Amino acid sequence: MDKHPTLHTMVRQSPYEARHLLIRSVDGSLVTNLIQLVSGNETGLGAGTEYEMDRKAEALMEEWAREGFRPLREPNERAWESLRETIALLSLMGYNVVYDHDYKDLRGNFTGAVPLDQWQGKQGKNGGSYKYAFGPGQTLLAQPTLPPGHGINMTLTQENMVSTMREITKLLQEVGPDYQFLLGD
């Protein structure tokens, strides 16, 4: 039995939404569960053989594609979500610990291990915040997001693209750095 379920993720760009399907083995390929996770909300979709749940997942992903969703295409493409939504996904994937250097101390927590359900994520500066994604392997990624009312005209034209991107980059750097965390079972 695999410790972590099989994960299928699809995203829609406008309005942005990520949807996840997890196929979790209960008794090898004889009994598996199909679980849907949308906006951090878990729904059990059925139990059966691995083949049956794979077929059901494929049918549901075809339906989602008709709604404008697409699978993640590139190896580095991620489904970015809120901290709450990402923690829900990581928990369903079987992770219980995040290793955050900010939690390291000399009184015993040498690794920075924090129970996932107690981790507060990263705090942005200057009114910004962070978005999160389950990264490659056993990693969690965090990227800063622009504060509301940032004042940048986000309508990109050929004439203003470079200057607008510079403004966005500068504001994001003021919110905070990108982070990558290891996850543990």
Instruction: Indicate if 54 and 108 belong to the same structural domain.
Output: no
**Domains of the chain: total:** 2
Looking at residue 75, its pLDDT comes to 80
- Of the three residues 54, 77, 100, the one that is the final residue of a domain is 77
Q: Confirm whether 85 is domain-assigned.
A: no
* Domain ranges, residue 33: 6-77
Write the pLDDT tens digit of every residue in 108-121: 889 999 999 999 99
Residue in 81, 75, 61 with CA at minimum distance from that of residue 18: 81
Among the three residues 77, 105, 130, which one is the final residue of a domain in this structure? 77
pTM of the model: 0.88
| Residues 105 and 176 reside in one and the same domain | yes
One domain for residues 105 and 137 = yes
Going by the DSSP 8-state scheme, the letter that residue 110 receives in this structure is: S
User: Among candidates 156, 178, 180, 181, which has minimal Cα distance to 166?
Assistant: 156
Per-residue pLDDT reduced to its tens digit, 69-93: 999 988 888 999 999 999 999 999 9
With b meaning 16 or more CB within 10 Å and e meaning fewer, what string describes 149-168?
ebeeeeeeeeeeeeebeebe
71 and 136 assigned to the same domain: no
Instruction: Clarify whether residues 102 and 43 are in a common domain.
Output: no
In a domain, 1, yes or no: no
83 occurs within a structural domain: no
- One domain, residues 108 and 156: yes
